[in-house]
Amino acid sequence: MRIDIKTDGIEVTQQMRERLDWICSKLEKMADAKDPDMLHCDFVVSKIEGKEGENEFRAEVTFFDGSGQAHRAIAIAESPLVALDTAHDKIEREFFQEQRIHRDKQKIKDFTVRRAELIKKRKADLMKKYKEEPPRAHRGDSKDDD
């Protein structure tokens, strides 16, 4: 996976680098790509002035999953690590929500197609059985009733 890190007003510490590596490994696992070189993740972390002059940190994570889709999340928190975690969580939720929607649509489509195939097969089996069996005698058709 290709990783780009940009910062504004802060230094990338060892702890932050470890967190970024962990996030990238989670995103890579999530995407389940055949070619990990197709994955790309951009991180932008900056210090901003928050309420009442306190420093806050803004993290922007953009993840390209190799299918041509970009997942993007922005989070603001009191520390850069918390902001990164929050943005990562947003991306994961969005990704898995899209997967569930896609899977649910696929299940419904496959279910109706499969059901139609089973009905068609059952009708064909009944027609074959009907053609092979001799007709049944009805109660009123017997000659002994005279």
Task: Render pLDDT for 57-90 as a digit per residue (tens, 0 to 9).
Answer: 999 999 887 777 788 999 999 989 999 999 999 9
**Is residue 104 over pLDDT 90?**
no
In the β-sheet with 2-8, what is the strand arrangement from edge to edge?
2-8, 40-49, 55-64, 70-77
The residue extents of the domains of the chain are 2-95
Higher pLDDT, 111 or 145: 111
H/E stretch holding 103: helix 80-132
Q: Which CATH architecture describes the domain 2-95?
A: 2-Layer Sandwich (3.30)
Q: pTM score, two decimals?
A: 0.62
pLDDT confidence of residue 138: 65
Maximum distance among all Cα pairs of the chain, rounded to whole angstroms: 110
Q: In this structure, what are the phi and psi dihedrals at residue 130, rounded to the nearest 5 degrees?
A: -65, -40
